[in-house]
Amino acid sequence: MNFDWSKITNILQRMSSRERALLGAATAVALVLGFYTLVWEPLTEDHSRAERLIRARQQDLADIKEMRLEYMGLLNRLEVSRNMIDPKNMDGDFALFPHIETTVSAVLGGREKIRSMNPKTKAINDAFREEAVELKLDGISLDQLVDMMVRIEKSKKPLRVTRLQIKKRRRDPQKFDVTATVSMLKPNQQVSRAG
């Protein structure tokens, strides 16, 4: 089927210049509206939808990274807990008090900053007890505190700091008074003899 352009040409020639101008304006408006409706609006909607999807995926990624960090922290805590109750790490002959005293004295360069060290024992259940040493230290530096904590945490035995209170001195803000409790699990005597 062929389209006859001569009919359209005849109609245009019979029109006045004003009618042709109106027809041209109407055609231009129709083309602009058609372009906007059929091309521009779908493209911008697709772009907006893509941006929303990207933001959602970025949020998902951030959530996954946060969950991974939480998972790794929990995994680390689980490993520490397993080490704490592992019988080969629970040397019944290991003495916590002398170990802490030696470690703290080595970090502080002597005993003069140690106000007190008090041993404590608490039954956890029939199989385990918790041995602890409460330390009170006067006027130690932040470097000494960090060094002491690292040495305690990196000890060959599974030790943990269960309480830590740090108070800055008013007259010397570079020095701190520290109260800390270091503890470890040990098997009860009847369990260690049975094993």
C-alpha of 85 from chain center: 27
Segment 71-91 shows an average pLDDT of 68
Domain count across the chain: 2
Query: What is the extent of the structural domain holding 166?
Result: 91-194
Residue at a domain's end among 66, 85, 104: 85
Q: Residue 169 is part of a domain; what is its CATH number? A: 3.30.70.60
Confidence (pLDDT) at 31: 92
Q: Distance (Å, rounded) from C-alpha 104 to C-alpha 99?
A: 9
For the cut 60, the answer to whether the pLDDT of residue 89 exceeds it is: no
Cβ-contact 96, 119 below 8 angstroms: yes
Answer yes or no: do 74 and 129 share one domain.
no
Answer yes or no: do 59 and 104 share one domain.
no
Distances in Å between the Cα of 48 and the Cα atoms of 5, 53, 54, 58, 65 are: 42, 9, 10, 15, 26
The more confidently predicted of residues 29 and 91 is 29
Answer yes or no: do 121 and 27 share one domain.
no
Answer yes or no: do 35 and 54 share one domain.
yes
Q: Distance (Å, rounded) from C-alpha 187 to C-alpha 195?
A: 10
Claim: this prediction has a pTM higher than 0.85 = no
Answer yes or no: do 114 and 58 share one domain.
no
Confidence (pLDDT) at 92: 58
Answer yes or no: do 120 and 58 share one domain.
no
Confidence (pLDDT) at 191: 41
Query: pLDDT tens digits for 105-160?
Result: 999 888 888 899 999 988 877 777 888 999 999 999 999 999 998 988 888 777 88
- C-alpha triplet 42, 48, 53: angle, nearest 5°: 125
Residue at a domain's end among 85, 105, 140: 85
Confidence class for position 8, pLDDT limits 50, 70, 90: confident
Answer yes or no: do 69 and 105 share one domain.
no
Confidence (pLDDT) at 189: 64
Average pLDDT in the chain = 83
